[in-house]
Amino acid sequence: MKVGFIGLGIMGKPMAKNLLKAGFSLVVHNRSRGPVKELVEAGAEEAFSPKEVAERSQIIITMLPDSPQVEEVVLGSNGVLEGRIGPGFILVDMSSIAPLVAQKIEKEVLAKGGDMLDAPVSGGEPGAIGGTLVIMVGGKPQIFEKVKPIFEVLGNGGALVGPVGAGNITKLVNQIIVALNLASLSEAMVLGKKAGVNPRLIFEAIKDGLAGSNCLNAKMPLILERRFAPGFRIALHIKDLNNALITGHDLGVPLSFTSQVMEVMQALRVANEDGNDHGGLVRFFERLAGVEVVE
C-alpha cells in the first residue's frame, strides 16, 4: 500500500520518516523542497503537487498549519481532489483545523467516492520524532480500522471519538486544557519565586500530588533551564485557541478562561516571542512580577 504525505514541517517530517522506517512506501510533497529532498534520500518518492500525490497513493496524510492550507491542498487548483480518487481512497487529515472545515472537506471527499478521517495529534515535535503521538480520530469505524496500522507507527494507535469533526473537537478540548495548565503553572511558579522559594524544589514537592500533570512534568524542567526552543510554538497554540473560541461562539459555549490565556499569548506575539515554545508563556508573568523562574 502506497501512502501519500503532504506537509513536511516540524511535525510532518519526522512522522513521514517513521512511516518509512516502518516499511511503508511513501509519496511526499511539500512547498519547500528541502524536506522533500531529505525524505527522498531516505527512500520516499517525490511528487510535485497534491494532485500528483493523489494519482499515486491510496491513502493520503495531510499535516498542515491550519484550515486554509488544508482547504487549498485538498480542494484547490491542482489539489488532492483533482487526482484520480474513488472507492478505496482515504484522506487522513492530521492537521489541527476547525471542525466545521473538516466536515466541509469530508463532504467533498465523499462526493468523489472516497472516505476521510480527521486525526489531529498531541505530543509536539518530541512525540512526532519518537512515534508517541496521541491521535484523536473522527470518522467511520471501518475506515479507522484500515488506517490503524499507520496510527500505530505514529503514536498510540489512535482513539476513535466520533464522526469526522469529532477528532478536531477533541483536539480543541486538549489545547484548552494544556493552555490553562501552562498559564496556571507559570503564574504559580512566579509567585513561588517572588516569595524566595527555589522553584525546582517546589516542582519536586508538588509533581506527584494533585497539582502534578504531564504538562508540569514536561515543561517545568525546560522553564528552569530557560529552554524555549519550540517543540510546539506559541503561534500554533494561538491558532488552536482561535479555532476553539470560534467553535465555542458558534455552539453558544462561553470560554472565559480560554480567552484570557489567548490574550496572554497575543501579548507574547506582540513581543515577537510567538516563535518560542508554549512553555514560554511563563515569560509574560515573569515580566509582570520582575522575576525569572530559575533556581
Q: Where in the chain is the domain with CATH 3.40.50.720?
A: 2-162
Q: What pLDDT is stored for residue 78 in this prediction? A: 96
Q: What pLDDT is stored for residue 1 in this prediction? A: 77
| pLDDT tens digits for range 103-144 | 999 999 999 999 999 999 998 888 999 999 999 999 999 999
Question: In CATH, what is the architecture of 169-289?
Answer: Orthogonal Bundle (1.10)
Average pLDDT estimate for 171-189: 97
Q: What pLDDT is stored for residue 85 in this prediction? A: 85
Calculate ∠ Cα 204-173-102, nearest 5°.
Answer: 140
Q: How far apart are CA 159 and CA 53, in angstroms?
A: 27
The count of other CB atoms within 10 Å of the CB of residue 208 is 9
Length reported for the chain = 295
| pLDDT tens digits for range 45-57 | 999 999 999 999 9
What DSSP line would sit under 26-71, residue for residue? Answer: EEEE-SSHHHHHHHHHTTPEE-SSHHHHHHT-SEEEE--SSHHHHH
| pLDDT tens digits for range 269-288 | 999 999 999 999 999 999 99
Question: Cell digits for 265?
Answer: 499569548
Q: What pLDDT is stored for residue 86 in this prediction? A: 87
What's the maximum distance between 2 C-alpha atoms anywhere in the chain?
65
Question: Cell digits for 100?
Answer: 466545521
Is 21 an annotated catalytic residue?
Answer: no
CB distance 165 to 135 below 8 Å? no
| Per-residue confidence band for 181, with pLDDT thresholds at 50, 70 and 90 | very high
Please report, rounded to a whole number, the percentage of residues in the chain having pLDDT higher than 90.
96
Give the Å distances, CA to CA, from 258 to 31, 42, 117, 158, 174.
33, 41, 27, 26, 12
| pLDDT tens digits for range 4-47 | 999 999 999 999 999 999 999 999 999 999 999 999 999 999 99
| pLDDT tens digits for range 232-248 | 899 999 999 999 999 99
Active-site residue among 13, 51, 112, 171?
171
Q: How far apart are CA 71 and CA 104, in angstroms?
A: 9
Q: Where in the chain is the domain with CATH 1.10.1040.10?
A: 169-289
**Which among 189, 184, 187, 214 is positioned nearest to 203, based on CA atoms?**
189
CB distance 1 to 58 below 8 Å? yes
pTM value surpassing 0.85: yes
Average pLDDT estimate for 58-78: 96
Question: In CATH, what is the architecture of 2-162?
Answer: 3-Layer(aba) Sandwich (3.40)
